Homo-oligomer: A and B are copies of this chain.
Amino acid sequence: MNIREIAKKAEVSTATVSRVLNNSENVSSTTREKVLKVLKEYRFEMDPWAKHLASKRNITHVLIMVSRRILGSLDLKSKEFYSIVIKGIQTAANMNRSVTEIVEMETNLDEEKLKNVDGVLLVGGDTTAEHVRFFKKIGIPVVLVDQYIPTVKVDCVVSNGYDGASYAVKYLISQRFKKIVHIHGFLNHFGFKDRYNGYVATMEQNNLLPKSYEYNDEVMEDMKPLIDKMLNVYGVPEAIFASNDPIAMKVIETLSSFHIKVPEDVSVIGFDGIEKGKHFTPPLSTLKVPMHEMGSLALKRLIDIVYNQDIYPVRISLFTEFIKRGSSI
């Protein structure tokens, strides 16, 4: 059942049916009723593909919001985590008639700007419930990228840190390691917490004692005190699983200043799979998250929400892939 058939049944033109479907102003109430009746009678459901194709002319305006901290480190030529995520967003935007604009999350948006924004992508772990509520209140659809807030029902795209971490730990255990330490960033960031949970659960499932240290990843300060403390209290671990690649590389650097060799003395595994790790010495073993895909999935989900009125929010989590390189046995 398509709109031509409906038009015939209702004895009007397709244009009128379309107008009714889109709540256009210029339809007399009598014809509207008539069309609505036929629509209901035949249980008409619009073909989203056709709708979207035909709506080519109204392109979707998407705001990409990034916290200042991340925006600063953002270089669209680089292959850092968020640079690639955003490239993924833009790639998908090209294929979905959308234009994107990157804005600092801390900015106060004026109404003018918001007027022709169809949807917002909030990127990164700094996104809070407040940000989400702001857009919800004014009725603009939102998708979080690389962030999850359990207490707010809102769409998001994240990596599956729990199972990724679990995989890393299991792998290390399969290499006969038992003293496996986790060095992580702030646990109020969902991503770190998720990986942390996966680490702890898997250690416990294998009757091993989890041991973890928190490191301020935001400023990337000196890691020596932390490692020093670890060595004194816990001794030299057999393996270290780090929250992400930057931390993992910092760990390796710091260990070397203690004359501890990677991977001979300690195996190190990171998380993210950024390009830099590939060219590090030694090349970093890691759990690669499909960053590009993360971005494009988020954009596609946003489009789905805007056009197809998908009203139930979902969490989309991407599987990670273990990449074994030189930093681990």
Name A's B-contacting residues (CB within 8 A): 45-50, 52-53, 91, 94-96, 150, 153, 160, 163, 166, 290, 293, 297, 300, 304, 310, 312-319
Contact = CB atoms under 8 A, between A and B. Distances in A.
A157 to B, nearest CB: 8
B48 A50 contact: no
B318 A316 contact: no
Nearest to A319: B153
A95 B312 contact: no
Contacts of A96: 49
Contacts of A48: 95
Contacts of A46: 95
A320 to B, nearest CB: 9
Contacts of A50: 53
Contacts of A315: 160, 316-317, 319
A317 B316 CA distance: 6
Contacts of A312: 290, 293, 318-319
Contact of A45 (B95, B304, B317, B319): B95
A99 to B, nearest CB: 16
Contacts of A95: 45-48
13 contacts: A45-B94, A45-B95, A47-B53, A47-B95, A48-B95, A50-B53, A150-B163, A160-B315, A293-B310, A313-B318, A314-B316, A315-B319, A316-B316
A263 B45 CA distance: 43
A53 B319 CA distance: 30
Nearest to A53: B49
A81 to B, nearest CB: 16
Which 3 A-B residue pairings sit nearest by Cβ, starting from the closest?
A49-B52, A49-B53, A293-B312
Contacts of A317: 314-315, 317
Contacts of A318: 312-314
A273 to B, nearest CB: 13
Given A53-B53, A293-B310, A313-B319, 16 more contacts: A46-B95, A47-B53, A47-B95, A150-B166, A153-B319, A290-B312, A312-B319, A313-B318, A314-B316, A314-B317, A314-B319, A315-B316, A315-B317, A315-B319, A316-B316, A317-B317
A46 B48 CA distance: 17
A125 to B, nearest CB: 18
A319 B46 CA distance: 26
